[in-house]
Structure 1
Amino acid sequence: MELDGAGHFDVSGNLHDDARTSYLAQFGIVVLRFENKMVWSALDGILLEISRHFKVR
């Protein structure tokens, strides 16, 4: 999970994020990104989205 600030919302930031996400995907790692301010305004939605990525065994 990653909380993104303003530095992630430009071309350079997007390219860096995409490269890192592709690299991590090779190992089966899923990256979930949320805008920083969403923690304060939509925490329940963020937690719900995170929980959707866990499997109950």
Structure 2
Amino acid sequence: MTIDNRHSQILGCAKNLRKNMTEQERKLWFTFLKNHPLRFYRQKLVGRYILDFYCHRAKLAIEIDGSQHYEDKQEAYDFERTAYLKRLGILVIRYTNRDVSLHFNEVKIDIDRILQERLGLNPWEMHH
């Protein structure tokens, strides 16, 4: 498979993931990240990886993990992926589906806190 074919295959997969977001991804996107003052992308392609949510300005990736992320094969893949993104200066933060479902306000506060730290902003600057 050529690089161009692989790239278009991954792009197609990202597009499909955008159309078929999980309940928790939809909740985070539509009630928080979509209209966040800092621009976020969903299912963003970086290298050969698709990030659930990505803020380029802060170099922050947000991953929402379902139960499959705790299987050995997936944990190894996630570790390799996180190491690759770290080499690009991208911080990966992870929340479980349960976190988003049961502790949504805490997740939002945590994301804003990390964005503020990464960009050296105070909360007022970020939301105005």
TM-score bracket, shorter-length normalisation:
0.7 to 0.9
**RMSD (CA atoms):** 1.3
With the length of structure 1 as denominator, give the TM-score of the two structures: 0.88
Q: CA deviation at 1:48?
A: 1.4
| Max Rg structure | 2
Alignment counterpart, residue 8 of structure 1, candidates 57, 69, 72: 69
Counting only pairs closer than 5 Å after superposition, residues 29-40 of structure 1 correspond to structure 2 as: 29-40=90-101
With the length of structure 2 as denominator, give the TM-score of the two structures: 0.42
Alpha-carbon separation, structure 2, partners of 1:40 and 1:4 = 12
Superposed structure 1 runs of 4+ greater than 6 Å apart = none
Describe the SS at the equivalent of 2:107: helix
Letter of the 1:30 counterpart: L
Extract unaligned runs of 5+ from structure 2: 1-61
Q: Between Structure 1 and Structure 2, which shows a larger proportion of strand residues?
A: 2
Q: CA deviation at 1:37?
A: 2.0
Count of aligned pairs between the two proteins: 57
Extract unaligned runs of 5+ from structure 1: none
Matched residues, percent identical?
Answer: 30
Describe the SS at the equivalent of 2:78: helix
The superposition leaves residues 2-30 of structure 1 with CA deviations (integer Å, 9 ceiling, x where unpaired) of 10011101111111111000000011100
The superposition leaves residues 24-47 of structure 1 with CA deviations (integer Å, 9 ceiling, x where unpaired) of 001110011110121110001111
Alpha-carbon separation, structure 1, partners of 2:67 and 2:83 = 21
Q: Between Structure 1 and Structure 2, which shows a larger proportion of helix residues?
A: 2
Is residue 28 from structure 1 mapped to residue 118 from structure 2 by the alignment?
Answer: no
